[in-house]
């Protein structure tokens, strides 16, 4: 027992040492108070490069009040990512006291991947600034989605400039984005249901009525004798017009409710649509599909098919193209679906809904289709240089096994 009690004794600080520590702590607290209140214009930091002077830009009280009233985190970092200044909003984001935030490294609030992103961003941040999104790790381990805005500040006695940072809480934005995605998905579902209903009505009602009239016109043309030249010619023209109308209604019905897609799959449906488009417009369509390890989910196939339909519709109306290429395959961890044409293109800076009016609602519909399946759609075009539509869907969303 005697031995245990001796082991538990802690070394006692000498009275002089204790007084010195209390004095240093008081000085540190006073320095932090002065920095927060705007009484300090510069800070000397002793680091690997020796003493460095950092000017606290905008140290005036009015500026400090403005920063503290922000609903966003505001920080100033050294090139080594040490926090020279932070407002109370950022301290609340990381669930820590402000005095523990200032003087520490910003890296401790990021994951390993996000630290790498921050390092790369700091190297390429320009005068116009840079924005990216990360997960901020609070002191209790919780994670907060944020957007970081970086901008270099004036050099403060060093070779490299300090960095100003604004941290925006993206929780509500993410929630709104998820709600919008769910709403878009619901709109697409309702749209598909309505297309199916219209296709059924066209096929079972309108087409039958047109065929009945076509047979009547055929009978009428046959009854008219050659002597009734004008009437017989008009009857024959009427029969031909009705025949073309029936074919067009059948084509529209087929496109609205793609039975080939449901029965034979995406590749067969794209081949059928491409062949019909090529025969009707004379524009060559080259289809290239790489075999995937797993079949695509039904909603992915439908999205790709509808995007192809809309893209071919735009080519027919606006592109004046001679060739179209369609490619489907894997690219890294994504399923890539790309459509290229060699048409007139358009100025992407002005947007596709200006000038000739190419795109508009059709392009918006394609974007919605891609978003609904967890993907992204990118459109690249330039005047007289053709157009490329690229859709990337993560493999995690693309296969039947993942659903």
Tell me the CATH number at 126: 3.30.450.20
Query: To the nearest whole number, what is the mean pLDDT of the chain?
Result: 81
Domain boundary at 228, 257, 286, which? 257
Beta bridge partners of 324: 285, 341
Q: Is the Cα dihedral 277, 282, 283, 284 positive or negative?
A: positive
- Domain match, 243 and 300 both: no
Each residue's pLDDT tens digit, 71-113: 899 999 988 889 988 999 999 999 999 989 999 999 999 999 8
- Domain match, 369 and 292 both: yes
Report yes or no on 144 lying in a domain.
yes
- Domain match, 369 and 232 both: no
* pLDDT given at position 18: 76
Helix (H) / strand (E) containing 24: helix 15-37
- Domain match, 238 and 146 both: no
d(Cα 21, Cα 333) in Å, to the nearest integer?
56
* pLDDT given at position 13: 55
Task: List Cα–Cα distances, 281 to 66, 277, 284, 305, 312, in angstroms.
Answer: 63, 6, 9, 19, 10
- Total domains present in the chain: 3
Report yes or no on 13 lying in a domain.
no
Report yes or no on 19 lying in a domain.
no
* pLDDT given at position 185: 78
Q: For the ranges 25-39, 93-107, 120-134, 171-185, which has the lowest average pLDDT?
A: 25-39
- Domain match, 112 and 209 both: no
93 CB neighbour count, 10 Å cutoff: 21
Report yes or no on 9 lying in a domain.
no
Domain that holds residue 160: 34-169
Is the Cβ–Cβ distance between 122 and 150 less than 8 Å? yes
Mean pLDDT of 124-150: 88
* Residue 267, pLDDT above cutoff 50: yes
- Domain match, 301 and 207 both: no
Q: Is 399 helix (H, G, I), strand (E, B) or coil?
A: strand
Please, which pLDDT band fits residue 349 given cuts at 50, 70 and 90? low
**Percentage of residues in the chain with pLDDT exceeding 90?**
31
- Domain match, 290 and 371 both: yes
Each residue's pLDDT tens digit, 144-200: 999 999 988 865 555 556 888 999 999 998 888 888 878 877 887 888 888 888 888
Report yes or no on 7 lying in a domain.
no
* pLDDT given at position 12: 60
Each residue's pLDDT tens digit, 372-388: 888 999 999 888 788 99
Report yes or no on 17 lying in a domain.
no
* Residue 390, pLDDT above cutoff 90: yes
- Domain match, 46 and 122 both: yes
Domain boundary at 122, 147, 169, which? 169
State how beta strands 143-155 and 334-341 pair: unpaired
- Domain match, 285 and 359 both: yes
Strands of 376-381's sheet in order across = 284-289, 323-331, 334-341, 387-394, 376-381
* pLDDT given at position 356: 42
CA atoms within 13 A on the CB side of 297: 18
d(Cα 397, Cα 403) in Å, to the nearest integer?
7
With helix as H, strand as E and coil as C, how does 37-92 read?
Answer: HCCCCEEEEEECCEEEEEECCCCCHHHHHHHHCCCCEEEEECCCCEEEEECHHHHH
Domain boundary at 114, 140, 169, which? 169
- Domain match, 148 and 176 both: no
Each residue's pLDDT tens digit, 296-323: 898 899 999 999 999 999 999 888 999 9
Mean pLDDT of 56-69: 59
Q: What is the DSSP letter of 180?
A: H
- Domain match, 262 and 403 both: yes
Q: For the ranges 33-42, 214-223, 263-272, which has the lowest average pLDDT?
A: 33-42
* pLDDT given at position 41: 60
- Cβ contacts of residue 139 below 8 Å, gap of 6+? 94, 95, 96
* Residue 347, pLDDT above cutoff 90: no
- Residue with more model confidence, 394 or 26: 394
Please, which pLDDT band fits residue 208 given cuts at 50, 70 and 90? confident
Tell me the CATH number at 267: 3.30.565.10
- Domain match, 67 and 207 both: no
* pLDDT given at position 252: 85
Report yes or no on 326 lying in a domain.
yes
- Residue with more model confidence, 224 or 399: 224
Report yes or no on 272 lying in a domain.
yes
pTM over cut 0.75: no
Nearest CA to 364 out of 297, 302, 307 is that of 307
């Amino acid at each position: 027992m005697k031995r245990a009690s001796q082991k538990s004794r802690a070394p006692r600080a000498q009275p002089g040492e204790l007084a010195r520590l209390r004095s240093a702590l008081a000085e540190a607290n006073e320095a932090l108070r002065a920095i927060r209140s705007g009484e300090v214009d510069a800070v000397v930091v002793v680091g690997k490069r020796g003493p460095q002077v950092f000017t606290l830009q905008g140290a005036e009280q009015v500026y400090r009040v403005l920063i503290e009233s922000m609903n966003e985190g505001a920080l100033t970092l050294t090139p080594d990512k040490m926090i020279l200044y932070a407002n109370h909003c950022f301290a609340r984001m990381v669930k820590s006291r402000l005095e523990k935030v200032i003087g520490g490294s910003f890296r401790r609030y990021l994951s390993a991947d996000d630290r790498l992103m921050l390092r790369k961003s700091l190297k390429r941040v320009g005068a116009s600034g840079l924005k990216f999104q990360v997960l901020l790790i609070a002191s209790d381990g919780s994670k907060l989605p944020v957007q970081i805005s970086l901008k270099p500040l004036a050099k403060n006695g060093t070779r490299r400039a300090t960095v100003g940072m604004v941290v925006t809480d993206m929780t509500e934005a993410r929630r709104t984005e998820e709600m919008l995605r769910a709403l878009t998905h619901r709109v697409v579902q309702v749209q598909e249901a309505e297309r199916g209903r219209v296709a059924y009505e066209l096929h079972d009602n309108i087409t039958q009525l047109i065929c009945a009239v076509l047979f009547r016109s055929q009978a009428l043309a046959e009854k008219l004798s050659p002597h009734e030249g004008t009437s017989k010619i008009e009857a024959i023209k009427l029969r031909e017009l009705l025949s073309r109308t029936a074919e067009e209604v059948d084509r529209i019905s087929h496109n609205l409710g793609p039975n080939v897609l449901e029965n034979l799959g995406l590749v067969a449906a794209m081949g059928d649509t491409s062949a019909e488009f090529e025969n009707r417009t004379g524009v060559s369509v080259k289809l290239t599909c790489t075999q995937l390890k797993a079949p695509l989910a039904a909603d992915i196939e439908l999205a790709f098919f509808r995007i192809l339909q809309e893209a071919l519709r735009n080519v027919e109306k606006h592109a004046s193209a001679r060739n179209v290429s369609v490619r489907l395959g894997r690219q890294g961890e994504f399923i890539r679906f790309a459509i290229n044409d060699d048409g007139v293109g358009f100025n992407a800076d002005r947007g596709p809904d200006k000038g000739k009016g190419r795109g508009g609602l059709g392009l918006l519909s394609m974007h919605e289709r891609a978003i609904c399946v967890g993907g992204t759609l990118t459109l690249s075009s330039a005047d007289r240089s053709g157009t490329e539509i690229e859709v990337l869907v993560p493999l995690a969303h693309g296969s039947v096994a993942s659903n």
